[in-house]
């Protein structure tokens, strides 16, 4: 879709942003937010449910029970042995990807008595801190796969992760493994998956991403994308998305953006500065020097500059009020994408207190 020139930000209430053109948004100065971790507990509980479904043959047992019409108690005692399962306690669970969800799934499974192994070559310090110290983390996926009775994948869908679980990886797995995918469907080569099921390598594939190719296939259990479908998760995601958007609009701060760096100059209302300038720019040499040179006639009381890949953000607190015309020179510089001025709303003698917040002329930010 075409974006309005007035569009400042897009917030996704969830982790996936595959339906948002994040590169084009970055080029046009549109900050894209997501809400990582907001639905983590909901997904964690569904992953655990998937393990129990596989371990105890629950779906097959339920379907068989529906067929009973008479002598139910007697038929159950005769037929229940066909659904004998196993307990997950003592079984080994491999976690591929130790982000928000992967970590809490790992910790929960350990508390249920499972042996847990993690794999994530780019685990961050926060996840490493929150992961149980009893859970080993291996660098090589091939080292973990042969040891696992259960596997659960929790990595983002990118070009580099597309089809990462393929024939090579299935060949490294223990025969009879139960594989859970509550992350993204395109992480798994589905043709190779069905071959692995036919070969007895994968006993059950539990996924939250049904499609025409998988529905009705032997060994495949498809759930209708229920990962974040709880009242609690939907509310947490919505509030988190709104809070991040408000913080960006009113303070210029960026948190959990997928195309611009994390940057924070604190709440603007607590700053003694008269205005705050927020600049989105390309991450190229001498850019910061050009920005400060263009603002040489004002006193900069505080400043922060952060970069992420090809893009960067600069925020400056100014001790005097400036207007948009004073920033015009900035827009002539190669690499400047947008500049925005945030100002504190001033009371108007013509507007009473009740109407003040409703007036568009008194909103505490302006941009161009």
Going by C-alpha positions, the residue among 163, 318, 211 that lies closest to residue 327 is 318
Domain with CATH 3.40.50.720 in the chain: 1-39+230-260, 40-222
pLDDT of the residue at 272: 93
Q: CATH homologous superfamily of domain 1-39+230-260?
A: NAD(P)-binding Rossmann-like Domain (3.40.50.720)
By CB atoms closer than 10 A (0-12, 13-18, 19+), residue 57 is middle
| 51-63 pLDDT per residue, tens | 999 999 999 999 9
Reported in sequence order, the residue ranges of the chain that DSSP labels E, i.e. its strands, are: 9-11, 31-33, 92-96, 115-119, 137-138, 150-153, 177-181, 202-207, 220-222, 275-282, 300-308, 311-318, 336-343, 366-367
- Which of 3.40.50.300, 3.40.50.720, 2.60.40.10, 3.40.50.970 is the CATH number of 40-222? 3.40.50.720
| 259-296 pLDDT per residue, tens | 999 999 999 999 999 999 999 999 999 999 989 988 88
Spell out the residues 6+ positions from residue 240 whose beta carbon is closer than 8 angstroms to its own.
Answer: 13, 35, 38, 256
pLDDT of the residue at 156: 87
325 Rama sector, left if φ>0, alpha if ψ -120 to 50, beta otherwise? alpha
Please, are residues 38 and 14 in contact by the beta-carbon 8 Å criterion?
yes
Supply the DSSP string of 123-135, one letter for each residue.
Answer: --HHHHHHS-TTS
Domain with CATH 3.30.70.260 in the chain: 265-368
Structure tokens that stand for 232 in this block: 């609690």
Sheet containing 202-207: order of strands: 137-138, 115-119, 92-96, 150-153, 177-181, 202-207, 220-222
Going by C-alpha positions, the residue among 3, 39, 4 that lies closest to residue 21 is 3
Residue 288's alpha-carbon distances to 39, 183, 301, 337, in angstroms, are: 38, 39, 15, 14
Question: Could you state, in chain order, the average pLDDT of each consecutive group of 10 residues for the chain (368 residues)?
Answer: 92 88 96 92 96 95 93 93 96 96 97 98 89 96 98 92 97 98 95 98 97 95 93 94 96 97 95 94 92 90 96 96 79 89 69 40 39
Q: Does domain 265-368 have CATH number 3.40.1160.10?
A: no
């Amino acid at each position: 879709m075409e974006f309005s020139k007035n569009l400042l930000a897009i917030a996704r209430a969830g982790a996936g942003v595959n339906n948002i053109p994040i590169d084009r948004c970055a080029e046009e100065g549109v900050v894209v937010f997501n809400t990582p971790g907001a639905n983590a507990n909901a997904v964690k509980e569904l992953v655990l449910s998937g393990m129990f479904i596989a371990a105890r043959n629950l779906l097959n047992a339920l379907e068989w029970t529906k067929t009973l019409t008479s002598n139910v108690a007697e038929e159950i005692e005769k037929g229940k042995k066909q659904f004998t399962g196993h307990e997950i306690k003592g079984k080994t669970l491999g976690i591929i990807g130790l982000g928000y969800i992967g970590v809490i799934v790992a910790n929960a499974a350990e508390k249920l008595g499972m042996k847990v192994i993690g794999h994530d070559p780019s685990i961050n310090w926060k996840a490493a801190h929150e992961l149980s110290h009893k859970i080993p983390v291996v660098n090589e996926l091939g080292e973990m796969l042969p040891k696992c009775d259960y596997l659960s994948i929790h990595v983002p869908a990118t070009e580099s992760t597309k089809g990462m679980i393929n024939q090579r990886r299935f060949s490294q797995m223990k025969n009879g493994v139960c594989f859970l995918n509550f992350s993204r469907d395109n992480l798994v080569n589905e043709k190779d998956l069905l071959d692995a099921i036919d070969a007895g390598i994968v006993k059950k594939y539990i996924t939250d991403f049904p499609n025409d190719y998988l529905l009705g296939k032997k060994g495949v259990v498809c759930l209708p994308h229920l990962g974040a479908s709880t009242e609690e998760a939907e509310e947490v995601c919505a509030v988190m998305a709104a809070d991040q958007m408000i913080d960006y609009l009113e303070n210029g701060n960026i948190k959990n953006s997928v195309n611009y760096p994390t940057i924070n100059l604190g709440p603007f209302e607590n700053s003694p500065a008269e205005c705050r300038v927020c600049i989105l720019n390309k991450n190229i040499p001498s850019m910061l020097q050009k920005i400060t040179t263009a603002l040489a006639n004002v006193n900069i009381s505080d400043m922060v500059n952060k970069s992420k890949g090809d893009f960067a953000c600069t925020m400056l607190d100014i001790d005097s009020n400036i207007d948009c015309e004073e920033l015009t020179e900035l827009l002539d510089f190669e690499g400047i994408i947008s500049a925005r001025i945030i100002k504190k709303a001033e009371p108007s003698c013509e507007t009473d207190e009740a109407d003040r917040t409703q007036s568009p002329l008194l909103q505490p930010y302006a941009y161009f």
